[in-house]
Each structure stands twice: as structure tokens, then as C-alpha cells.
């Protein structure tokens, strides 16, 4: 199935409903789907579970907390160790108004990978003997302890790539692959903003990072400048 | 408190001492905070390959030039690329880390125990804290160096018998470089290898809660 193309990020979010589990690609400023985040804000969709490696660390995802659209985050960076420069998410978390599942970044990436790859779980040494292990099965193997971690999927993924072709193949720019390429495999509906759309065949096959099979919707948008220091 | 008038090492000097630990040609991940300073002090001829867990192998220093928001390190700071650099996704990046392909990781620390347990992500009395890539790096890197202050701001030791803050990983630390000392973690416990200029081993031990064996060849750090 080839991707469907939309004229605006708002139109590309058609059907995204309250209570959705939404994966949000990007890493701080790098290839963050900021146009789609802003469209989700305008849409006013509520009670969302946001799955993203960071929220409120220079990204714009935190702006969804302005109108309290996020009920829960599953993230690796969400709350600073001091309350200086607190994000909106952090304020709401410290007030007990939003839920947070804090996940080691590599475990988050691998859970999403497993979710997209039909893998029912995996064993990792990451988190053994820490708070992350609470409530999880610990297995012994080859003289070491391993945590059993479960896959993660979402209803919707909003992602950003650099270029797409008309089939839906994607290329990312610089360090933009990050969580985008992993999340593209693990959501029922994958919506991608890109800077440029080219004709099918114009992307060299060996340079395609996300094959079209994973991509449902594409919208072309000019990138939004995001500063790592939140300025 | 002993000899508090003596200067402790600045963050830059701690980074310089850590940089001396990096083996030429090795692959190194530098954590957020003080460890990122190490990038500036690794001699170019050592050909250190810097990995950033957001998906870069072979980044250079911090970019002073045009800001490119797609070219950042794991701390979100803009960086440059060295020839031969490569990009990959986050799942591949952490496979690289957990799979033992990173020779050395340098992480910041809040507490280290005598067995080499590390606590570096949460201060319970302040609440919150974020794990990021620290837990994966702590278990995955072949050698883990922790760069931190020897004591808290009010003078309490950070090298303890047991960590009291939430752990990052158990028995993961190989070497601790502080603003007062270089301490090695071994199967028998901690050994004081080096002291900051002007500091005596006994003075460092007095600011360390865990038992500290003094190496026979203990010396002043060469900075």
C-alpha cells in the first residue's frame, strides 16, 4: 500500500482521537515532528499517552501540556533532577497531575523495535537492581541477571523525515534517524512530515532508511526551528 | 573538615585527567554534563571515535559555527563531524552500547559505592530525575569512568559504602575521577591511585566514606 499525501499537518491527523497512544519521533531538536505536534495542539486531542524519548528538554512536545492534552508520558528524559527550568510537563508531574513511565533510553528504543518486529519481549541487563526492575520478571542466564522487557506499540506515530518519495520511502537527515526510524515500524497509523517530496525512483534504493511499507501518511512542511537550549 | 582551603580541581581539570585515560583508537561515549568537556581535551592524534547515543559515531567537538538542529549530541548540543562519521537509529545505537562495542563510557555521578555501584540520575530529596541513556551505558560499556565531585556542596562524601540514591546500575564503575582524586574500583574494594596537587592521601580518605586502600605508588595527578 502506498502512502497518502496531505496538504496540511492538521489534515494529516484526521481520525486521531482522544485517548490515543501517540509515539513522537525525534531527539530534542533533531528531526522532531514539530509541525505535527503543533497540529495536534490545534486539534485539541486529549487524554493522550505520549511515547517519546524526551519531553520538555528543548523539544516542543511540552507545549501539548499547556492545555493538558497529555495524561501520561513514556519517556527517558522527562523530569530534571532539580526543579530549575521546569517544563510544563514537569510542573504537572510534580503536582501529580500527569503520569510518567520513566524508561532507560535503550530499553525504550528496543521495546519499540520489538513492537514493530513481532518480538514478544527481550532480556536486558539494563535496569537490573534499580527502580526500573520493580514489578518485572528477572531471569538468570549465563550467570547473570536479566530483566524481561515487553514490546511497545502505539495507535499513532508522528514522525519527521527529510525527504519522501511518492511511494512513501523516507530518508532522514544527519542525526535525524534516532527514534523516528524505530517508531515508523511500531504504530498502527504512521504520519510523517517531510521537508521535500520527490518522485518515486529519485531516492537511491541504498539510501532509503525507512521503506514505504511502514508509512501511511505524508505531509510536506517547512521545518520549525527548535533550539536545544529551548530558546 | 581537612584542608578545605586547598583548591580542588576545576571541571576542566577533571576533564583533562579523564582524557588521559582514553586509549588511542578507542570508541568512547561521553555522558551529559562534565563528561562532555572531555571531548575538548582528547588529543586529535589519539583518534578517539566519539559515540553519541542519539545516533552518531565519529562526532568532533561542539559546533561554534552555524547551528544545525539535526546535528546534535545526546545532550542536545550542536556538534561537528569528523571524517568517517556515521549516523544510525536509536535501536542500533543502543545495540552498539549494550553489545559491548563501546570501549569506554564517561558518566557523571552523584554517588559511587565501594563495590562500584553507581547512582547518577536522581536526588530523592529533590524528586524527579531522568534516566536517559545512563543505565544502558553503565551496563554496556566495557570500561566505565565516573567523573564527579568528591563531596556534596556541604562536604558530605559521594564515595560511600552503599549508595543511598536510586541506582543507575550495580557493580559497573571501573574508575572514579573526582576534583580530589583518582580512585580505582577492584574486586577487593577501592584504591586511591592519585590525589589532586597539594592534597595528601589521608585528607582525601577523610572525605571518603568507603574504605580506601592507598596504592603503594600513589602520586599527584599530572595535569
What percent of chain B has pLDDT above 90?
87
Residue A110 predicted with pLDDT over 80: yes
For residue B89, give how far its alpha carbon lies from the nearest alpha carbon of chain A (Å).
4
d(CA B11, CA A225): 31
Q: What is the pLDDT of residues B119-152, one digit of tens each?
A: 999 999 888 899 999 999 999 999 999 999 999 9
Residue-level pLDDT at A2? 85
Structural Rg of chain A based on CA atoms = 18
Cβ–Cβ below 8 Å for A131 and B166: yes
d(CA A111, CA A153): 8
For residue A180, give how far its alpha carbon lies from the nearest alpha carbon of chain B (Å).
8
From A90, A126, A172, residue closest to B135, measured CB to CB: A126
Tell me, yes or no, if A29 comes closer than 8 A to chain B by beta carbon.
Answer: yes
Confidence of residue A62 (pLDDT cuts 50, 70, 90): very high
From A77, A107, A228, residue closest to B130, measured CB to CB: A77
d(CA A57, CA A50): 14
d(CA A72, CA A20): 11
Quick one: which of B30, B50, B47 has its CA closest to B38? B30
Residue B185 predicted with pLDDT over 70: yes
The catalytic position among B4, B45, B53, B194 is B53
Length of chain B: 223
User: Which stretch of A43-57, A128-142, B52-66, B173-187 has the lowest confidence by average pLDDT?
Assistant: B52-66
Residues B146-166, mean pLDDT to the nearest whole number: 97
Residues B59-76, mean pLDDT to the nearest whole number: 87
Residue-level pLDDT at A231? 57
Residues B95-120, mean pLDDT to the nearest whole number: 98
Residue by residue, DSSP assigns B101-161 as: --SEEEEE-SEEETT--EE-S--TTT-----TTHHHHHHHSSEEEEEE-SB-TTS-BSEES
Residues of chain B in contact with residue A82, where contact means CB-CB under 8 angstroms, are 123, 126, 128
Residues A188-200, mean pLDDT to the nearest whole number: 98
Residue-level pLDDT at B63? 77
Contact B89, A179 (CB under 8 A): yes
From A105, A126, A178, residue closest to B89, measured CB to CB: A178
Confidence of residue A81 (pLDDT cuts 50, 70, 90): confident
Tell me, yes or no, if A130 comes closer than 8 A to chain B by beta carbon.
Answer: yes
Query: Residue A180: which residues within 8 A CB-CB, separation 6 or more?
Result: A25, A26, A31, A33, A159, A160, A161, A172, A210, B89
Angle between helices A105-117 and B90-98 (to 10 degrees): 120
- For chains A and B, CB pairs below 8 A equal 169
Residue B188 predicted with pLDDT over 70: yes
Residue-level pLDDT at A230? 59
Task: Tell me how far CA of residue A18 lies from CA of A15, A111, A163, in angstroms.
Answer: 10, 24, 30
Q: Give the residue, B43 or B166, on which the prediction is more confident.
A: B166
Residue A1 predicted with pLDDT over 80: no
Tell me, yes or no, if A90 comes closer than 8 A to chain B by beta carbon.
Answer: yes
What percent of chain B has pLDDT above 70?
98
Q: Which residue of A has its CA nearest to B56?
A: A175
Average pLDDT over chain B reads: 94
Residue-level pLDDT at B4? 56
Residue A209 predicted with pLDDT over 60: yes
Q: So what CATH class is A4-118+151-220?
A: alpha beta
Residues of chain A in contact with residue B74, where contact means CB-CB under 8 angstroms, are 27
Strand partners, B57: B51, B86
d(CA A151, CA A116): 8
Residues of chain A in contact with residue B69, where contact means CB-CB under 8 angstroms, are 29-30, 223, 225-228
* Maximum C-alpha span of chain B: 51
Residue-level pLDDT at B96? 98
For residue A113, give how far its alpha carbon lies from the nearest alpha carbon of chain B (Å).
7
Domain ranges of chain A: 4-118+151-220
Residue B3 predicted with pLDDT over 70: no
Residue B88 predicted with pLDDT over 70: yes
DSSP state of A54: B
Strand partners, A54: A77
Interface subset of A 132-161, CB within 8 angstroms of B:
132
Residues of chain B in contact with residue A104, where contact means CB-CB under 8 angstroms, are 131-136
Quick one: which of A103, A89, A34 has its CA closest to A57? A89
Confidence of residue A228 (pLDDT cuts 50, 70, 90): low
Q: Give the residue, A82 or B82, on which the prediction is more confident.
A: B82
Cβ–Cβ below 8 Å for B70 and A173: yes
Residues of chain B in contact with residue A112, where contact means CB-CB under 8 angstroms, are 91
Alpha carbon B213 to chain centroid distance?
Answer: 21
From A80, A109, A177, residue closest to B128, measured CB to CB: A80
Query: Residue A205: which residues within 8 A CB-CB, separation 6 or more?
Result: none
Residue-level pLDDT at A37? 98
Structural Rg of chain B based on CA atoms = 17
Q: Please calculate the CA angle B5-B6-B8 and round it to the nearest 5 degrees.
A: 120
Residues of chain A in contact with residue B75, where contact means CB-CB under 8 angstroms, are 228
Residue B1 predicted with pLDDT over 60: no
Residue-level pLDDT at B66? 75
Confidence of residue B13 (pLDDT cuts 50, 70, 90): very high
Query: What are the b/e assignments for B33-43, b being 16+ CB within 10 Å?
Result: bbbbbbbeebe
Confidence of residue B33 (pLDDT cuts 50, 70, 90): confident
Cβ–Cβ below 8 Å for A79 and B130: yes
Give the H/E segment covering residue B85.
strand B79-87
Quick one: which of B97, B115, B129 has its CA closest to B170? B115
Q: Give the residue, A231 or B125, on which the prediction is more confident.
A: B125
Residues B39-47, mean pLDDT to the nearest whole number: 90
Residue-level pLDDT at B5? 61
Q: What is the pLDDT of residues A151-165, one digit of tens each?
A: 999 999 999 999 999
Contact A137, A148 (CB under 8 A): yes
The CATH superfamily of B11-220 is: Glutaconate Coenzyme A-transferase (3.40.1080.10)
Let me know if B64 is a catalytic residue: no
For residue B81, give how far its alpha carbon lies from the nearest alpha carbon of chain A (Å).
10
Domain ranges of chain B: 11-220
d(CA A204, CA A225): 28
Contact A33, A181 (CB under 8 A): no
Average pLDDT over chain A reads: 96
Please tell me whether residue B169 adopts helix, strand or coil conformation: strand
Q: Taking the CB of residue A208, how many other CB atoms lie within 10 A of it? A: 16
Residues A172-183, mean pLDDT to the nearest whole number: 98
Amino acid at each position: 500500500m502506498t502512502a497518502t499525501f496531505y496538504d496540511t499537518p492538521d489534515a494529516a491527523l484526521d481520525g486521531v482521537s482522544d485517548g490515543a497512544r501517540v509515539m513522537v519521533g525525534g531527539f530534542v531538536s533533531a528531526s522532531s515532528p514539530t509541525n505535527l505536534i503543533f497540529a495536534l495542539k490545534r486539534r485539541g486531542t486529549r487524554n493522550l499517552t505520549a511515547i517519546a524519548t524526551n519531553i520538555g528538554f528543548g523539544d516542543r512536545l511540552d507545549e501539548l501540556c499547556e492545555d493538558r492534552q497529555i495524561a501520561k508520558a513514556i519517556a527517558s528524559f522527562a523530569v530534571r533532577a532539580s526543579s530549575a527550568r521546569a517544563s510544563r510537563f514537569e510542573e504537572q508531574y510534580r503536582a501529580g497531575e500527569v503520569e510518567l513511565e520513566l524508561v532507560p533510553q535503550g530499553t525504550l528504543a528496543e521495546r519499540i523495535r520489538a513492537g514493530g518486529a513481532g518480538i514478544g519481549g527481550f532480556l536486558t541487563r539494563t535496569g537490573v537492581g534499580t527502580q526500573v526492575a520493580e514489578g518485572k520478571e528477572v531471569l538468570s542466564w549465563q550467570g547473570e541477571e536479566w530483566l524481561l522487557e515487553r514490546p511497545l506499540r502505539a495507535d499513532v506515530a508522528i514522525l519527521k523525515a527529510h525527504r519522501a518519495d511518492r511511494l512513501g520511502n523516507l530518508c532522514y537527515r544527519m542525526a535525524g534517524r534516532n527514534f523516528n526510524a524505530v517508531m515508523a515500524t511500531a504504530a498502527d497509523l504512521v504520519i510523517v512530515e517531510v521537508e521535500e517530496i520527490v518522485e518515486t525512483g529519485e531516492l537511491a534504493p541504498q539510501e532509503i532508511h525507512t521503506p514505504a511499507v511502514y508509512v501511511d501518511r505524508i505531509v510536506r512542511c517547512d521545518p520549525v526551528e527548535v533550539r536545544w537550549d529551548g530558546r | 573538615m581537612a584542608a578545605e582551603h586547598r583548591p580542588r580541581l576545576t571541571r576542566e581539570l577533571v576533564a583533562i585527567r579523564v582524557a588521559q585515560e582514553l586509549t588511542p583508537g578507542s570508541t568512547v561515549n561521553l555522558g551529559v554534563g562534565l563528561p562532555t568537556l572531555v571531548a575538548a581535551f582528547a588529543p586529535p592524534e589519539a583518534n578517539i571515535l566519539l559515540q553519541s547515543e542519539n545516533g552518531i559515531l565519529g562526532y568532533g567537538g561542539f559546533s561554534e559555527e552555524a547551528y544545525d538542529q539535526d546535528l546534535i549530541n545526546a545532550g542536545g548540543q550542536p556538534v561537528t563531524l569528523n571524517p568517517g562519521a556515521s549516523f544510525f537509529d536509536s535501536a542500533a545505537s543502543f545495540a552498539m552500547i549494550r553489545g559491548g562495542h563501546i570501549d569506554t563510557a564517561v558518566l557523571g555521578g552523584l554517588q559511587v559505592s565501594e563495590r562500584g555501584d553507581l547512582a547518577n540520575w536522581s536526588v530523592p530529596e529533590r524528586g524527579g530525575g531522568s534516566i536517559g541513556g545512563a543505565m544502558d551505558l553503565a551496563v554496556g560499556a566495557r570500561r566505565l569512568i565516573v567523573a564527579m565531585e568528591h563531596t556534596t556542596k556541604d562536604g558530605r562524601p559521594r564515595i560511600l559504602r552503599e549508595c543511598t540514591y536510586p541506582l543507575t546500575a550495580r557493580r559497573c564503575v571501573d574508575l572514579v575521577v573526582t576534583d580530589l582524586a583518582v580512585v580505582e574500583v577492584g574486586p577487593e574494594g577501592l584504591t586511591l591511585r592519585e590525589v589532586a596537587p597539594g592534597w595528601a592521601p589521608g585528607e582525601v580518605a577523610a572525605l571518603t566514606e568507603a574504605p580506601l586502600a592507598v596504592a603503594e605508588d600513589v602520586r599527584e595527578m599530572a595535569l
